[in-house]
Amino acid sequence: NLKNQKFVRKQYAQDISHELRTPITNLQLYIEAIKDNVIDADEQTLSSLLEEIHRLEGLVVNLNKSFNDNSEYLKINKKEFNLSDHINSLLDTVKPRLNKLDISLIEEIKDGIIINSDKDKISQIVQNLVSNAIKAIKNDGLIRVSLSEDKNNIYLVVKDNGVGISDEKKEAIFERFYRIDDARNTKLNGHGLGLSITKNFVESLGGRIKLKSRLGKGSTFSVILPK
């Protein structure tokens, strides 16, 4: 039992460490862009930086909790918020990274979508899917992020024109530590953590995630969340 607890805690630490990389990278690129006079240190930019710092703070708190109580990691803290505005803010934080990589971003975010859900976990879902799309693009590429709704559900879709995933690997892509070196890790040496974490978070929020992909043509990840 002690050996199993040690293993589980190690897994949680690895997951959170993986999650820390994205906000740290975003902060680094924002600061570099300000220093190089690529973007202005205006109110919107400073708000984006502050949001990333708050995200980092939350992840560090979760890391500490994960060593004390494993259930804290997937604990749901729901509140009502404007999901459209939140996703727009999240996409703003990743734009310096996309600009540096010459990746185009198309945003199709329907205004005024309200959701009662866990804001932090949705942040991690969006950040993970966008980071995953970035890794899939070898050279200049395109990422399309859309948000829409119907009577019962909210739909978040992240599509890239990257290298894609073969049919035999689609089932395994969400498995913990599964590595697809030739498909999803063209820029960084990932370990499959991001998509595993994303699937866990989506399901913990009562939703589901679907994948459509063609090798050499790109991938589309669709998250369906209940209202």
For residue 115, give the nearest of 125, 101, 130 by alpha carbon: 125
Host H or E run for residue 12: helix 2-35
Residue 103 has pLDDT above 90, yes or no: yes
Lowest mean pLDDT, pick from 101-110, 120-129, 202-211: 120-129
Residue 221 has pLDDT above 80, yes or no: yes
Task: Choose between 20 and 113: higher pLDDT.
Answer: 113
Top mean pLDDT of 33-37, 109-113, 190-194 is at 109-113
Lowest mean pLDDT, pick from 68-77, 131-140, 194-203, 218-227: 68-77
Q: How far is CA 55 from the centre of its chain?
A: 12
* Cα gap 197→176, rounded to integer Å: 8
pLDDT mean over 46-58: 77
pLDDT mean over 101-108: 94
* Cα gap 81→113, rounded to integer Å: 9
Task: Choose between 92 and 194: higher pLDDT.
Answer: 92
**Residue type (1 letter), 130:** V
Residue pLDDT, tens place only, 182-192: 444 444 434 34
Report if pTM > 0.75: no
Lowest mean pLDDT, pick from 58-67, 135-144, 217-226: 58-67
pLDDT grade, residue 82 (50/70/90)?
very high
Q: How many CA atoms lie within 13 A of 217 on its CB side?
A: 7
